[in-house]
Amino acid sequence: MTLSRRKTLTLIGGGVILAATAGLGAIASRAPRTALLPWGQAGSGADARHRALSHALLAPNPHNRQPWLVDLREEGVVTLFVDTAKLLPHTDPFSRQITIGLGCFLELMRMAASQDGQRVTITPFPEGFDDRALDGRPVARAVFTADASVTPDPLFAHALERRSNKEPYDTARPLPADTLKKLDVATSVRFGGTLDPAEVAGWRALTREALRIEIETPHTYKESVDLFRIGWAEVDANPDGIDFTGPMFEVMAATGLFTRESAIDTGSQAYRAGLDAVYANADTAMGHVWLVTRTNSRADQIATGADWLRVNLAATAGGVAFQPLSQALQEYPEMAALYRDLHARLAPAGGTVQMFARIGFGPEVNPSPRWPLEAKIVHG
């Protein structure tokens, strides 16, 4: 679930906030202390694994939970685990999306390492897996080997500029006709997309309805609200989850206009503003892209993550804004009808739609917060 920051502000009452902002200058001008530092530290470290991992932790991942943990005790090897305290049991009951995020992490690690003259050989789930739940077994074993012949990936050049852009897109600027061709950089998973206005209108309506269901379903909405970090002090303390930052959010937090309690209260202005803000995102899609796998094993999900990262980087390269809209892909009962509808359209012969996103031209947005690498090494 994501709220467009600007739209929320407008809807909650920009005038009141602006007046308050003027009087609460010190609060309004709060800035991040630590939450964005990892973006500047990417590529640093004495060991090739640290250098690659400092990039990997900038990977896209559901609700920015950053569920990765690494064990570095074995020389030249990264053993990746999932932090089972950071799953999303309501919206991602089988941890399919969490696994995709771990696939994004591994691909970014691989790309960063190849830039650094290291070949990385990845074995997903070396001790096996459970289809329905992630557990304490390793998600992957990655062996680093110095190899001067390794080919760097040109997409890696865009890694630090990549963002999930959760603002409304410009409906007056259609995407160039060759956009989908440029975004089709998937290596093993089936890529699809549309820029056709009639189809886009259909997907706008479906994604809007899926957002409505997720927000109006108390247990799935609460899972998101519990992860709201409002203002830089909260974000610095917990640089993950769904962040709301900037002068107006600082003031709204300080004045009690926007809190987790008001966001969950369906009678509040904050709740209605949030709903309208997410609709504004769905409604301004200028195209859609998706990835489909034939089967839905854990290995398929890891492969989806790798290809999703690549598509995301290709969009960044082309200046195309990108936001996953995962709601209709989620496997909880209240979403079942839309899940079936979407699959009937995109995978009529069977298969799993693993990712779905809107694309368009959007405003520039900040990078999202991250925990530093030290917080993610379980054994150094």
Ligand X SMILES: Cc1cc2nc3c(=O)[nH]c(=O)nc-3n(C[C@H](O)[C@H](O)[C@H](O)COP(=O)(O)O)c2cc1C
Tokens of 68: 């990765």
Among 38, 62, 168, 362, binds ligand X (CB under 6 A): 62
Is 296 exposed, middle or buried, given 0-12, 13-18 or 19+ CB atoms closer than 10 A? middle
The only residue of 38, 60, 247, 362 in contact with ligand X, by rule CB under 6 A: 60
Q: CB of 325: closest distance to ligand X in angstroms?
A: 5
Nearest-CB residue for ligand X? 60
Task: Single out the segment in contact with ligand X by CB under 6 A; choices: 42-50, 61-69, 76-84, 226-234.
Answer: 61-69
Question: Is residue 362 close enough to count as binding ligand X by CB under 6 A?
Answer: no
Give the range of 29-37, 57-65, 192-200, 216-224 binding ligand X by CB under 6 A.
Answer: 57-65
Q: Which is nearer to ligand X, 28 or 302 (CB)?
A: 302
Determine if 166 is a binding residue for ligand X (CB under 6 A): yes
Rounded CA-CA distance 322/289 in Å is 9
Task: Tell me phi and psi for residue 276, to 5 degrees.
Answer: -60, -35
Copy the structure tokens of residue 141: 């074993």
| Short-list 209, 198, 355, CA closest to 292 | 355
Q: Does 100 bind ligand X (CB under 6 A)?
A: yes
Examine residue 21 and tell whether it contacts ligand X (CB under 6 A).
no
Q: Is 368 in the site for ligand X (CB under 6 A)?
A: yes
Out of 61, 115, 207, 224, the only residue in the binding site for ligand X (CB under 6 A) is: 61
Is 48 or 200 the residue whose CB approaches ligand X more closely?
A: 200
For position 97 contacting ligand X by CB under 6 A, the verdict is yes
- Does residue 326 touch ligand X according to CB under 6 A? yes
Shortest spacing between CB 310 and ligand X, in angstroms: 13
190-194: strand order across its sheet: 190-194, 287-293, 352-360, 321-324
Stretch that binds ligand X, among 26-34, 60-68, 140-148, 182-190 (CB under 6 A): 60-68
Tokens of 239: 């640089």
Contacts of residue 106, Cβ cutoff 8 Å, sequence gap at least 6? 56, 80, 122, 140, 142, 302, 305, 306
Q: Does 54 bind ligand X (CB under 6 A)?
A: no
Asked if 105 and 72 count as a contact pair (C-beta separation under 8 A), the reply is no
- Site stretch for ligand X (CB under 6 A), options 77-85, 95-103, 132-140, 194-202: 95-103
Binding residue (CB under 6 A) for ligand X from 325, 328, 338, 347: 325
List beta partners, residue 352: 293
Residues 6+ apart with CB under 8 A from 209: 338
| Beta strand spans in 327-380 (E) | 352-360, 377-379
User: What residues make contact with ligand X under the rule CB under 6 A?
Assistant: 2, 60-64, 97, 100-101, 104, 163-164, 166, 323-326, 368
